[in-house]
Amino acid sequence: MNRVLVLNGPNLRRLGVREPDVYGSESFEDLTALCRDTGRRLDLQVEVRQTDDEAEMIRWVHEAADERLPVVLNPAAFTHYSYALRDALAQLRAPLVEVHISNPATREEFRHTSVVAGVATGTIAGFGFMSYVLALQAVAEIVAERHRTG
């Protein structure tokens, strides 16, 4: 079973109470359960983490780089300014899927730029929690394809 890190940035533990008109009414615990359940269906061992600390996020990315683990990442506010996170992500040698619950392109202008998108395998945004399901499906497909082709 392939291990996948699902990493979440600032304020995402506040899901369900933070701007429910943007992020919905489901909690971070609901998101965690959805990701783990999706992982089981896809034969992925999913580990969900959340931090408000940029340094901790970078340490987790270094762990993923060292262990060649796929990452599903919702960088949250780090999306728009964290060049340190972007540089850490550039070290990954496994799939990286950037996810967003909302669609940043339809929100405030400062949210339109992602400094991490350029090092991601792909980005999925705007589908609510389904963005994570789609990202995990993409990771499973990419990993399976790599196993088939050696």
- Which residues, including other chains, have CB under 8 Å from residue 125's CB and lie 6 or more apart? 98, 99, 100, 101, 102, 103, 104, 105, 131
Distances (CA, A) of 123 to 14, 61, 118, 141, 143: 22, 17, 10, 15, 17
Q: Which residues are part of the catalytic machinery?
A: 23, 100
2 is in an annotated binding site: no
Rounded Cα–Cα distance for residues 60 and 37 (Å): 22
Rounded to whole angstroms, the maximal C-alpha distance in the chain is 45
102 is in an annotated binding site: yes
80 is in an annotated binding site: yes
As annotated, the binding site includes 74, 80, 87, 101-102, 111
As annotated, the binding site for substrate includes 74, 80, 87, 101-102, 111
